[in-house]
Amino acid sequence: MKNNVVGWFEIPVSNMDRAIKFYATVFGFELQREQMGPLDMAWFPSIENAPGSGGSLVHHEAAYKPSADGVLLYFTAHSGDLSNELSRVEAAGGKVLLEKRLITEEIGYMGLFLDSEGNRIAMHSRE
């Protein structure tokens, strides 16, 4: 296998402005907003040929619906300690569902939150 299994992800949103503000506040980076036909998208920053996958927020009234059920997406905490990003979730309009918790010493830590749109999202860090 030459590539990671995931090539792209899309997080459904109901209110793009609110969602962009939420993710920018929690993770501390800017998203690039693009209108692609009927899709209103905001792309997360990505580094070409780096491990991981690129993705976006996406709004389309008929085709995308935020959900706390189903697929669980893990973001890497770029601060190195997910406690930093998780500490900004509630002030940004989300809800922490699971505080930082050790998975195993080899894997690291995880935490869960609901974003401003009601999607259940996870974070991972080694520390």
- Domains annotated for the chain, with CATH where assigned, are 8-125 (3.10.180.10)
**Residue 57 pLDDT exceeds 90:** yes
Query: In terms of Cα–Cα distance, which of 73, 72, 122 is closest to 101?
Result: 122
For tokens 């190195």, the residue is 80
For strands 39-43 and 32-36, give the pairing.
Answer: antiparallel
Separation of alpha carbons 56 and 30, rounded Å? 12
Predicted local confidence at residue 28, as pLDDT: 95
Q: What is the pLDDT of residues 3-47, one digit of tens each?
A: 777 889 999 999 999 999 999 999 999 999 999 999 999 999 988
